[in-house]
Structure 1
Amino acid sequence: MKLRIQHRTAHTYERPVSFSDHALFLRPLNSHLRHVTHFEVKTTPASRQRWVRDAYGNLVLRCNFGLLESQELSFDTMTEIEVGEDNPFDFILDAYATGYPFSYREPDLTALRPYVGTQPAKGAGRVLDWFYTAVPNPMQHADVVQFLSDLNAAVAREIDYVRRDEEGIQDPDTTLQLGSGSCRDMAVLFIAITRQIGFAARFCSGYLYDPPVEGSGEHLYNRAVGSMHAWAEVYLPGAGWKGFDPTNGILANGFFIPCGVSHDPKAVDPIQGSFFAKDSVASTMEVSLEIERIDE
């Protein structure tokens, strides 16, 4: 299928300000099932643009505004992408990694070190206590995919989704204490748990195509229609990086379109940059996002 993604982010300031370079993690990552056929970004004010491939293989568009000052900063992105069908269970694991626990082998382990860490990260000291009560057979499981699916489903079941438009991510302990969080908060909770129990996991930011159900207009999975989505990926030997969406308790299929992956969620914030002013300046932000199928 072929999709068109139209994404606008607009900031308005109470008086003219100047801007640093802005880095955009908005271009979908190509794969054997995803092919970007068109991508463009129009900015206000106008910018000089250049592409950079970062340390994680993400394609980053850097926009330079020079010395221009403006009361508006907007990014209008239009993407067309061809997406193939993806059965999330269509893979074969290496024999040593079919059950839990297992240990990564070289040379995978060398490449995966940034994504593993059995010691609790700051703000993630309570996650294992929760894990032991929420997941069946937490110490040993014959089917590693079912084990991770159980954890994925437990986060979706026990944590209420709330849309949070403010910047930043809750630490996992706060998400557990509140019993609620955004998609990025739930992904970070899932990652904190999987790392502490021996898996390599990374954060994924991108788009989720979830057409409304015919006749109802409701969406099954995209709870924050008009916003980008976040989920997690776990490295499984023989299968590679496999996506788990704890917001919905499902494995990622072809409708999940990643734009940035990293061991650190802050590294793939969709739009990164600053503005400069002599004094404090109030600002507002508006975001719109529309994803439509264009091959029907």
Structure 2
Amino acid sequence: MRLNIRHNTLYSYSKTVFLEPHYLLMYPLQRPYVTVEHISFDISPQPLGTADVLDIFNNPTKQIWFAEMQNMLHIEVDMVLSLEPFNPFTFLPFPEVDLSHSELYAFEKTHALNPFLRYDEEMITEDMKTLLSDMVAGARNDIIATLTNLLGHIHKNWDHSIRLHPDVWSSDECYNKKKGSCRDLAWMMMIMLRYLKLATRFVSGYSFNPEQRNGHELHAWLEVFIPGGGWIGVDPSLGLFATDHFVPLAVGSEPKFTMPVNGSYRGSAISNMESTVTIRKMD
């Protein structure tokens, strides 16, 4: 499958501002099923300079900086991707552990995974603990079965809403409201799995499913680290495990680290952001 993806972002300002360096997380991440045939950036106004760097989570990042006062910033990314069929379950679980084990990962891996296991106790309500206990018991402590059941439960009982605000609801707020954006649902499920001692990370990117209504193209989901399988993508808003229809752009221990555009400006102007993503199947 070949896809043409065009991602347009426009920032407009009520008066001129000085743009601080901006960081663009818009390169597809390396995955065995993704080949980048073409990618181009059209940035207006013309940056004084650009650099391709890696952030703290090893996400490929384009840094841009400017010299003059500006009243807008327009970023257009055009890419052509080749996506091969991908089955996320073609791995051998090793070592064979389940959720009854006090340590799911070897010591050295637990140390490396610490940022992806961290949560505050107030993020988990008693209702959430009860649900998770029932899920684990029903799956007889099996990690994949628990993950599958929780994924289906959230997809069935939480409404997915389009919410363009960059802030993410807390896990308990999303749980109590029984609805949320893709970012809200992913963060809630991440915290629930961390409570079960499973490492999780937040993912932003694109999803392609012509049967879904608009609003899923720029998307968010999560990945959970499975012994033997590594990072496995899980999407609670669609109720799916991530396959070749998902194109990740950035990962992080929290949602705030995965925004497609990061940056600030000097000045007292009010800013407005518009963003569109179009995905076209080429063959």
Select which of 231, 235, 242 maps to 2:221.
Answer: 231
CA distance in 2 between counterparts of 1:228 and 1:155 reads 20
Q: For residues 107 and 132 of structure 2, what CA distance do their matches in structure 1 show?
A: 32
The equivalent of 1:169 in structure 2 is 168
Give the C-alpha shift of residue 135 in structure 1. 7.0
State the shift of 1:223 in Å: 5.4
SS of 1:57's equivalent in the other structure is coil
Separation in 2 of the partners of 1:61 and 1:78? Answer: 14
Identity between Structure 1 and Structure 2 (%): 27
Q: Distance in 1 between matches of 2:242 and 2:100?
A: 23
Partner of 2:61: 60
After TM superposition, list the pairs within 5 Å mapping 1:103-252 onto structure 2. 103-117=104-118, 120-121=119-120, 124-126=123-125, 129-133=127-131, 136-139=134-137, 141-212=140-211, 219=212, 224-225=215-216, 227-252=217-242
User: Offset at 1:134?
Assistant: 6.5
Amino acid at match of 1:113: N
TM-score (norm 1): 0.88
2:271 is equivalent to residue 283 of structure 1:
yes
Equivalent position amino acid for 1:292 in 2:
R
SS at match of 2:127: helix
Residue pair 1:23, 1:271 contacting (<8 A) in 2 also? yes
Render the CA deviation track for 1:37-72: whole Å, top value 9, x for unaligned: 222211111112111112222101111112x12221
Q: Supply the AA of the counterpart residue of 1:54.
A: D
1:92 paired residue number: 92
- The residue type paired with residue 148 of structure 1 is L
Give 1:34's aligned residue: 34
Cα displacement (A) at 1:123: 5.1
**Structure 1, unpaired ranges of 5+:** 213-218
How many Å apart are 1:254 and its aligned residue?
A: 0.7
- Tell me by how many angstroms 1:202 deviates: 0.6
Deviation at 1:284?
A: 2.3
Measured on the aligned residues, the alpha-carbon RMSD in Å equals 1.9
Partner of 1:260: 250
Give, in angstroms, the shift of residue 6 of structure 1.
0.3
Q: TM-score, normalised by structure 2?
A: 0.92
The residue identity in structure 1 corresponding to 2:32 is H
Deviations 1:5-53 (A, max 9, x none): 1000001222222201111111111222112222221111111211111
Alpha carbons of 1:123 and 1:22: their partners in 2 closer, same or farther (altered >3 Å)?
A: farther
Comparing 251-260 with 138-147, greater Cα deviation is found at: 138-147
1:129 shift after superposition:
2.3
